Structure 1
Amino acid sequence: MKHIFIIGSKGIPAKYGGFETFVDELTKRKKNSEITYHVSCMGENNDEHYYNGARCFNIKVPNVGSAKAVLYDLLSIQESIKYIKENNLSNCIVYVLACRVGPFFSKFKKELEDLGAKVWVNPDGHEWKRSKWNYWIKRYWKLSERLMVKHADLIICDSKGIESYITQEYHKYNPKTTFIAYGADVSLSPLEESDEKLLNWFQNFGINSNEYYLIVGRFVPENNYELIIREFMKTQSKKDLVIISNIEQNDFYNNLLQNTNFKLDKRIKFVGTVYDQDLLKKIRELAFGYFHGHEVGGTNPSLLEALASTKINLLLDVVFNKEVGSSGAIYFTKEEGNLASIVKSVEELQTEDINNLGIKAQNRILNEYSWDKIVSEYEKKFSF
Structure 2
Amino acid sequence: MKTQTLNVGLIGFGMAGRTFHAPLIQAAPGLELSAIVSRDAARVQAAYPEVAVHAKATSLFADRDIDLVVIATPNETHFPLAKAALAKGKHVVLDKPFAVSLAEARQLKSQADGADRLLSVFHNRRWDSDFLTLKGLLDEQHLGRVVEVESRFDRFRPVVPDRWREQHRPGSGTWFDLGPHLLDQARALFGMPRAILLELASLRDGAEIDDDFMAVLEYDRLRVTLRASTLVAEPTPRLRVNGTRGSFVKYGLDPQEAWLKEGESPQPAWGVDPSPGRLTVNEGEGDEVVLVHHEVESVPGDYRAYYDGIARTLLRGTPPPVTAEQALEVMTLLEAGLDSYRQGRWVKLKEGGSLPRRLHAKG
- When normalised by structure 1's length, the TM-score is 0.34
If asked which structure has higher relative contact order (CA below 8 Å, sep 6+), I would say 2
Report the TM-score, using the length of structure 2 for normalisation. 0.35
Q: Higher helix fraction: Structure 1 or Structure 2?
A: 1
